[in-house]
Structure 1
């Protein structure tokens, strides 16, 4: 499973939102807590803020995106993943644990560097903006970013980060 690297516990574990249930170990991570984006082993570029983790035996995961908030069981099937880099003008949806599905986002910029107030830096990020409607809230980070096809299935593009900081270029 993929989530935001800053959502992991000490870059070693994925816990549920109340921090009481261990879901699985982080297998690969490009986020260093207190620092920000780091290059994955063997890569020459920064690839944002992500963590890949293994779901432990006894736990389960499926290719579905939940459409409602944290108590919802409404979901959407994930058909596949998006097969190209994000481009300005792409229309996307987000799925957050707190707010559920939010569509109407439009990619405004790519390869952006964010400098957070505490000195943490996220590199090579995509910015999407909404012209109207409600947005995401704290607790939605790590949720999926996706496009919905004509059959109502999702094409996974990445994951959501709620940003509050200064924006700059690499």
Structure 2
């Protein structure tokens, strides 16, 4: 499987551009994971860090779930991988955790994100509120934040992939 990525058209309208850049970054993370074994995908960056490509995929599933389900749509969607006892559980893999499951869960959360966002205009405020601010967010803000979140973590994915097999690329 080869992940196809394309930037949005330079003259696209704002929503198309925001959705296009978000999808571009989603696909970039998928691309960084392609062609690796489950063991390679769970390889941590450098001790004592637990950061791995599978951990990043699990983390982004949590992030998609938080912003598009809990905040935007005000759904009662509990955590997938973390808990009060382990706030970084998305990065703490057990022997039973697989990349295949993490990837499927992440894709499911992306599908839910797209469905929920389709019901909002860019200036519409979320039905739920942010955990830290207690305030609603516009869909525009959520899209922009998600692009930033993926871009930051795709930088981590670049370094992880290069460490695993030397593959580089933007």
Calculate the TM-score normalised by the size of structure 1. Answer: 0.23
Higher RCO, Cα 8 Å, sep 6+? 2
Higher strand share: 1
Calculate the TM-score normalised by the size of structure 2. Answer: 0.23
